[in-house]
Amino acid sequence: MELVVGLDEAGRGPVLGPLVVGICSLPKADLRLLEQQGVRDSKELKSARRAELEHWFRQQCEQRGWFGTTVSLSAERIDLALQDQGLNMLEVEGFQEAIEQLPVKQHVSIIADACDVNAERFSQRIVSGLEHWPWEDSSMHSEHKADRNHLVVAMASILAKEERERAMGTMQERVGFPIGSGYPSDPTTKQALDGLCQQSEIDADVRWGWATVERFWQTHRDGDTPKRGQQRTVQQRLFQP
């Protein structure tokens, strides 16, 4: 039985929260069920509809043996990657970690939404880190806008988006004030930075290395912007009213 696997991410651009990779796997013959259910790229769906489709997909996992899961890359991990290998390579790692969780690793056709401008390079980087690749009768293909062109990737995008939304909800509940979508252009997120980026510390779920945080700090706080994993300078530790 040939299986199709879709991979996509949600949350590459926000200043808050994780980058989430979604993956799903199902028999090629079942792709028609995704079409019949109205699966589309998560960006084209409202929140309530995404939730309905995720619930439906989980039912199919139980009833038809489909598979789906997510891998969350924390704000801290994103910051450390920016200081070292870069966001594209971190995303490669996230896709690898998701693929390694597949319960069946033979007779699979993997399709990924490419973040790299060079889609073929993105594929090669992913498979270079997979254990025992090449798998029997299996292939790996990446392309831009795969979430629009392949239903299995669209379904993966829904899983990723819903998991990220839950993470943002958990963060908002923890901090106790509205944080918005986490995107730099969101007015609620902009306003939330005042509570998330204190002189004494920056919240753990903020991406400290984002230019958005750098600009906010330069305008509203004193000293150099803190760097994740690096000891703060004397100037950074001092509070100047």
Residues 67 and 142 in one domain: yes
pTM for this prediction? 0.94
Mean pLDDT of the chain: 95
> What are the Cα distances from residue 92, in Å, to 72, 123, 125?
13, 9, 7
Q: What is the pLDDT of residue 240?
A: 44
pLDDT band at 238 (very low <50, low <70, confident <90, very high): very low
H or E, element range at 36: helix 31-37
Q: Is the pLDDT of residue 154 over 60?
A: yes
Residue 139 in domain? yes
Residues 87 and 201 in one domain: no
- What's the rounded mean pLDDT across residues 195-213? 97
Residue 67 in domain? yes
Q: What residues make up the domain containing 205? A: 174-229
Residues 181 and 111 in one domain: no
- % of the chain exceeding 90 in pLDDT: 94
- Lowest model confidence (mean pLDDT) among 23-32, 67-76, 232-241: 232-241
What is the tens place of the pLDDT at every residue in 108-148? 999 999 999 999 999 999 999 999 999 999 999 999 999 99
Residues 123 and 87 in one domain: yes
For the chain, strand residue ranges (E) read 3-10, 19-27, 67-73, 108-113, 139-143
CATH number of the domain enclosing 44: 3.30.420.10
- What's the rounded mean pLDDT across residues 169-187? 98
Residue 240 in domain? no
Q: Which of 147, 169, 191 is the last residue of a domain?
A: 169
The pair phi, psi for residue 36, each rounded to 5°, is -65, -30
Q: What is the pLDDT of residue 232?
A: 64
User: What is the domain count for the chain?
Assistant: 2
**CA pair distance 218, 181, nearest whole angstrom:** 23
The number of angstroms, rounded, from the C-alpha of 120 to the middle of its chain's C-alpha atoms is: 20
Residue 236 in domain? no
Contact 33, 60 (CB under 8 A): yes
